[in-house]
Amino acid sequence: MIEMSNVYKKYSNGITAINGLDVRIEQGEFVYVVGPSGAGKSTFIKMIYREELPTKGTVKVGEFELENLKPKKIPYLRRHVGVVFQDFKLLPRLTVYENVAYAMQVLEKNPKQIQKRVLEVLDLVGLKHKVRMFPNELSGGEQQRIAIARAIANMPRVLIADEPTGNLDPETAWGIMELLEQINNQGTTIIMATHNSEIVNRVRHRVLAVENGRIARDQEGGEYGYEI
Ligand code: ADP
Ligand code: ADP
């Protein structure tokens, strides 16, 4: 499903963030990406949804070869890869409904289809009753649920979450984790970068530990801990 071979990423300031990385992730897996700050986790993740391109090497996501993907085709990739961020990134001037619908309108779906799906995903995240609210009227946990609803609205095969619980209190974080588990159980591949050791150690999944731009450990049902 996702395959990186001999990937390097050097930024324009000369920093090498990814330094010869190989990995393969199958459809339906739940993978944690852990590692110290600056290890290259975000860069790794950004290359999966083509926010960054590798300097060298190949990145395949489904049938897409990202290094050859024309900018015009990026929306087609993003239909298959949903993304959730630590700071939610909801559009502040749009309602909950509009935030989720917007992600679908970009792909030119018909209005009836959009309405049905928006209400369906808001129901799934437990916030159908908040459709008319604006992001700043919601708690952090609720905002993250909306961001997740938006990310899965187009039924992506992969959901990428970069520190999704980083701004949330522990109890709220567990709720988000349950939601991600539920989405994974429906067959969506989940790739989650996190510093939340409690979650990683309690809800066991494959762990990719990134250090110095490489996979330092790749462990099925692994623990959070890393060497440096
Ligand atoms: P580019 O990397 O193509 O120059 P960006 O807008 O990503 O464009 O970044 C502009 C500059 O800001 C980078 O060249 C880099 O020097 C710096 N920069 C941005 N993000 C980071 C970061 N996370 N760590 C270190 N430097 C950064
Ligand atoms: P992590 O997510 O593990 O903290 P990152 O992928 O954000 O790691 O960063 C890896 C290295 O690349 C760091 O040294 C960081 O400063 C640098 N970096 C990240 N983004 C940029 C950027 N846009 N421009 C320049 N350097 C960057």
**Residue with the nearest Cα to atom 26 of ligand 1?**
13
Q: How far is the CA of 17 from the centre of ligand 2 (A)?
A: 6
Say which residue the tokens 């979650």 belong to: 199
3-class DSSP state of 132: coil
Ligand 2 atom closest to 16 (CA) = 12
Model confidence over 12-31: pLDDT tens digits?
Answer: 999 999 999 999 999 999 99
Spatial neighbors of 226 by CB under 8 A, at least 6 apart, are 34, 35, 36, 209, 211, 216, 217
13 lines ligand 2 (CB under 6 A): yes
Model confidence over 161-194: pLDDT tens digits?
Answer: 999 999 999 999 999 999 999 999 999 999 999 9
Does the structure show a pLDDT above 70 at 226? no
Q: Which ligand is nearest to the CA of 211?
A: 2
Q: How far is the CA of 15 from the centre of ligand 1 (A)?
A: 10
Ligand 2 atom closest to 46 (CA) = 6
41 lines ligand 2 (CB under 6 A): yes
Q: What is the ipTM, given to two decimal places?
A: 0.77
Domain extents in the chain: 91-155
E strands present in the chain: 2-10, 16-25, 30-34, 56-61, 64-65, 81-85, 158-162, 189-193, 206-211, 214-219
Q: pLDDT class for 228, splitting at 50, 70, 90?
A: very low
Spatial neighbors of 109 by CB under 8 A, at least 6 apart, are 117
21 lines ligand 2 (CB under 6 A): no
Burial class for 105, CB neighbours closer than 10 Å (0-12, 13-18, 19+): exposed
11 lines ligand 1 (CB under 6 A): yes
12 lines ligand 1 (CB under 6 A): yes
* Buried b / exposed e along 127-161 (16+ C-beta atoms within 10 A): bbebbeebbeebebbbbbbbbbbbbbbbebbbbbb
**Residue with the nearest Cα to atom 17 of ligand 1?**
13
**Residue with the nearest Cα to atom 18 of ligand 2?**
17
Does the structure show a pLDDT above 80 at 109? no
pLDDT of residue 104: 86
Give the least confident one: 62-66, 109-113, 218-222.
Answer: 109-113
Spatial neighbors of 188 by CB under 8 A, at least 6 apart, are 28, 152, 156, 157, 158, 159
What is the average pLDDT value for the chain, to the nearest integer? 95
> Which of 10, 11, 86 to mutate to test ligand 1, by most ligand atoms within 8 A of the CB atom?
11
Model confidence over 116-148: pLDDT tens digits?
Answer: 999 999 999 999 999 999 999 999 999 999 999
Does the structure show a pLDDT above 60 at 213? yes
